[in-house]
């Protein structure tokens, strides 16, 4: 049995004070994709962090009146989807529901938005970046502002205070048992910094990584006329380049039309062998290039 209590706003913030708090968020367009990136949770003291669900969608940054991916590509959202978004920098995930990344990727990648598809998409906002406020104040600010604006498809992500690491494990089990991808763990007093750091952590029941496809290996038996496995190249946690095979996780369609040589794929794994090779590697998908 795990316990947690909700992160609440000690003092109700008015819209005016929220905007003042976030004024530092107005930056030039070339910085639009300068986002924070997560490292893997490694038993840090959870009392210093705020915890939220990890949403398996498309990262989306709202800034300077545009919605863009992490790579800086413009997202062609319908006008109604973005017209009421506030004039501040927001970071979040375009998301439909648990275990349906493919729907979001298909919808968001279209250069001509299909209104009926976008009606199912929500913008799950988990930060309002600026360089002057610690994360717990940024969380209070975006929560107050978005609740005040009350836009049905724009959802402020709830941040939780967790008392113990055992309680965190219980929360992970509860979320993933109901289909969630995992948890995000953000240091409460951390200022916004660009790039990867231990201020932002991810926690899942399995890890995932990316590798480059080097070779297709023909299958045997049932798969004698299709892909059996593929040889990939991967840089492990010790920055050593490893080559290994991935032979599971493919649908029949993917075995008949495998990821192209040279493409980057995402795979899941459960720890490493002594030689640094990912254990029980399983194909997930071709990396989304948005």
For tokens 């040279």, what's the residue? 262
Is 54 part of the annotated catalytic residue set?
A: yes
d(CA 236, CA 227) in angstroms, rounded, equals 25
pLDDT at position 19: 40
- Cα–chain-centroid distance for residue 22? 23
Pair of tokens at residue 199: 């201020």
How many CA within 13 A on the CB side of residue 203? 25
Q: What are the residue ranges of CATH 3.30.470.30 in the chain?
A: 4-203
Q: What are the residue ranges of CATH 2.40.50.140 in the chain?
A: 207-286
Question: Which listed residue (54, 63, 122, 187) is catalytic?
Answer: 54
In the beta sheet, which residues pair with residue 155? 124
pLDDT at position 289: 63
pLDDT at position 28: 38
Average pLDDT of each block of 10 consecutive residues along the chain (290 residues)? 48 40 41 76 90 95 94 94 96 94 93 96 95 93 96 97 90 91 95 91 87 95 93 87 93 94 91 81 84
What are the angstrom distances between the C-alpha of 172 and each of 48, 94, 180, 182, 242? Answer: 17, 22, 9, 6, 30
- Cα–chain-centroid distance for residue 260? 25
Q: Which candidate, 234, 252, 251, places its Cα nearest to that of 243?
A: 234
* Consecutive H or E run containing 97: none
Buried b (16+ CB within 10 A) or exposed e, 86-115: bebbbbbbbbbeeeebebbbebbeeeebee
CATH 3.40.50.300 corresponds to the domain 207-286: no
Burial class of residue 74, CB neighbours in 10 A (0-12, 13-18, 19+): exposed
Q: Which candidate, 207, 219, 226, 269, places its Cα nearest to that of 244?
A: 269
Pair of tokens at residue 167: 């309680």
pLDDT at position 11: 35
- Cα–chain-centroid distance for residue 107? 17
Q: End-to-end distance of the chain based on CA atoms, in angstroms?
A: 40
Q: Domain 4-203: state its class.
A: alpha beta
Give this prediction's pTM: 0.69
> Does residue 34 contact residue 70 with C-beta atoms inside 8 Å?
no
């Amino acid at each position: 049995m795990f316990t947690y209590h909700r992160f609440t706003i000690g003092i109700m913030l008015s819209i005016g004070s929220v905007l003042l708090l976030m004024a530092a968020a107005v930056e030039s367009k070339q910085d639009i994709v300068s986002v924070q990136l997560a490292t893997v949770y490694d038993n840090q003291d959870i009392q210093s962090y705020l915890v939220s669900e990890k949403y398996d969608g498309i990262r989306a940054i709202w800034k300077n009146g545009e919605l863009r991916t992490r790579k800086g590509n413009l997202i062609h959202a319908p006008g109604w989807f973005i017209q009421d978004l506030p004039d501040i920098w927001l970071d979040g995930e375009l998301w439909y529901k648990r275990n349906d990344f493919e729907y979001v990727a298909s919808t968001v990648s279209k250069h001509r938005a299909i209104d009926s598809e976008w009606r199912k998409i929500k913008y799950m906002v988990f930060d309002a970046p600026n360089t002057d406020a610690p994360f717990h104040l940024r969380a209070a600010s975006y929560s107050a502002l978005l609740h005040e604006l009350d836009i049905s498809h724009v959802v402020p992500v709830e941040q939780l205070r967790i008392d113990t690491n055992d309680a965190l494990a219980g929360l992970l089990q509860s979320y993933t048992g109901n289909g969630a991808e995992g948890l995000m763990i953000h240091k409460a007093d951390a200022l916004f910094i660009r790039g990867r750091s231990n201020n932002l952590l991810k926690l899942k029941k399995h890890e995932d990584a990316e590798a480059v496809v080097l070779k297709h290996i023909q299958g045997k038996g049932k798969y004698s006329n299709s892909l059996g496995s593929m040889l990939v190249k991967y840089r492990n946690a010790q920055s050593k380049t490893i080559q290994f095979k991935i032979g599971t996780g493919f649908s029949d369609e993917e075995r008949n039309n495998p990821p192209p040589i040279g493409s980057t794929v995402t795979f899941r794994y459960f720890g490493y062998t002594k030689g640094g090779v990912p254990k029980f590697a399983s194909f997930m998908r071709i990396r989304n290039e948005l």
